[in-house]
Amino acid sequence: MAASMWQVLRKQDIMNYWQVSDFVSLVVDMVPELLMFKHRTQLNLGLRVRYIIELCRIEQPSEMILSYLDKMTSTHTTLVKESDDELVKLNFLELIQILLKDPEEKNDFFMEIFPAKYGPQYDSDLQMLFAEFLCRLSQLLPVPDLEQVRDDSKDRSHLQTVPESVLSRT
């Protein structure tokens, strides 16, 4: 699962960033010490902000965009307040309202501001934060050896067991 999430970020499959953020939130809610609070906030909000901006760019219906905006602000209200980014949140809400209402401002934003603010460096920063998340997650999860895999597969009739010849090579 984590590998597929990494591919989403690596390939910049922005239309799946919301699901990646949900995954991160789920894991970090279960293991809060996995990421520093600041990094968790930057990663989750960064993914969601980029997703919503992409919805605006590809001209999805305003109702859809606003529904995601509501989810983002209601889900992460405490994250934003605790990280003293209330002004950032308000500016983002205002930006989205402008993009939805003013086609000329929207065009200017995507021609001038978007490439500079949400371009390659933004994507690189998200990848770096997600890589940190994955690294820390992998440190928490035990890696089974071949014997454990074989023993686990015995319990599953639909899987073949690991042959002894493979186990004897390790």
C-alpha atoms less than 13 angstroms from C-alpha of 47 in its C-beta half-sphere: 29
C-alpha atoms less than 13 angstroms from C-alpha of 91 in its C-beta half-sphere: 5
What is residue 159's predicted lDDT score, i.e. its pLDDT? 44
Higher pLDDT, 79 or 152: 152
Domain ranges of the chain: 2-144
What is residue 154's predicted lDDT score, i.e. its pLDDT? 64
pLDDT, one tens digit per residue, over 71-117 is: 887 755 444 445 456 677 788 999 999 999 999 999 999 999 999 99
pLDDT, one tens digit per residue, over 3-45 is: 899 999 999 999 999 999 999 999 999 999 999 988 998 999 9
